[in-house]
């Protein structure tokens, strides 16, 4: 069953990305001819995620796999033909005699236009992410949280999860400190882990105790990562600061 699901997942991703690359630009052009407004841009982005999610479900997978494939397919260049935000258009009208300043402003505006679709989709998070967290919290059996042995299990799972992510950093490029920073940055499970946990609970695959254990693991890995990332980043920057401080004057 695991082998079958793995083949389905990787096969679907390969096919979805290949087909998506072929149709993303023509579809984007078609809807741009109808309207280049922010509403159309947002509709195209969300529409891709919903369609690919539906296709993944028909393929026997979870919709999040399809949404992930849509994210791989869609690129900022597919939305460059849509209207720029009003503030970006207004700033572009300002002319400056300073060529360097004008170049900096243009670079910033181009980046802002490229990130515009991310900002639009990000506004949906303010509505749906809190709902999802509340829904996931409602799935937790409070009684299971009163079992001391559950916390011991969650601690062991958290240690294994953190160690696994740290080990994965060894595959990154760079020196040992850079590898460590990459590994620590991969520790948090976050919302993706919650999605899979909630899906497993909804399907009846996870018991109340196991679901609570996974939730605790997600919380632990999410909370421990930021301070560890800061420490690792400071250690990585320390040699550079030392070199600058020891550099001869003149």
CA distance 204 to 38: 40
- For residue 242, is pLDDT > 60? no
Dump pLDDT digits (tens) for 26-46.
Answer: 888 888 888 877 778 788 888
Dump pLDDT digits (tens) for 54-95.
Answer: 998 888 888 888 888 888 887 655 565 666 666 666 666 666
| pLDDT, greater one: 95 or 229 | 229
| pLDDT, greater one: 108 or 44 | 44
Q: What is the pTM of this model?
A: 0.64
What are the tokens at 102?
A: 């004008």
The predicted pLDDT at position 250 comes to 47
- For residue 113, is pLDDT > 70? no
CA distance 205 to 190: 20
DSSP string, 31-100: HHHH--SHHHHHHHHHHHHHHHHHHHHHTTS-HHHHHHHHHHH--GGGGTTSPPPHHHHHHHT---S-HH
């Amino acid at each position: 069953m695991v082998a079958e699901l793995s083949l389905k997942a990787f096969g679907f991703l390969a096919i979805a990305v290949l087909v998506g690359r072929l149709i993303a630009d023509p579809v984007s052009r078609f809807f741009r001819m109808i309207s280049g407004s922010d509403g159309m841009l947002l509709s195209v982005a969300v529409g891709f995620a919903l369609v690919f999610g539906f296709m993944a479900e028909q393929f026997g997978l979870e919709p999040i796999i399809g949404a992930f494939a849509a994210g791989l397919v869609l690129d900022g260049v597919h939305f460059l033909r849509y209207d720029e935000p009003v503030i970006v258009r207004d700033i572009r009208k300002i002319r400056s005699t300073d060529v360097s300043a004008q170049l900096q402003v243009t670079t910033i505006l181009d980046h802002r236009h490229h990130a515009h679709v991310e900002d639009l989709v990000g506004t949906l998070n303010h509505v749906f992410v809190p709902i999802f967290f509340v829904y996931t919290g409602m799935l937790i059996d409070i009684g299971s949280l009163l079992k001391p042995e559950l916390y011991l299990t969650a601690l062991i799972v958290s240690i294994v999860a953190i160690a696994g992510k740290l080990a994965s950093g060894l595959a990154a490029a760079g020196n040992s400190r850079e590898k460590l920073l990459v590994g620590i940055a991969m520790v948090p499970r976050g919302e993706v882990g919650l999605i899979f946990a909630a899906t497993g609970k909804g399907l009846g695959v996870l018991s109340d105790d196991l679901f609570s254990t996974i939730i605790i693991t997600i919380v632990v890995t999410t909370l421990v990562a930021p301070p560890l990332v800061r420490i690792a980043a400071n250690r990585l920057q320390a040699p550079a600061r030392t070199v600058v401080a020891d550099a001869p004057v003149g």
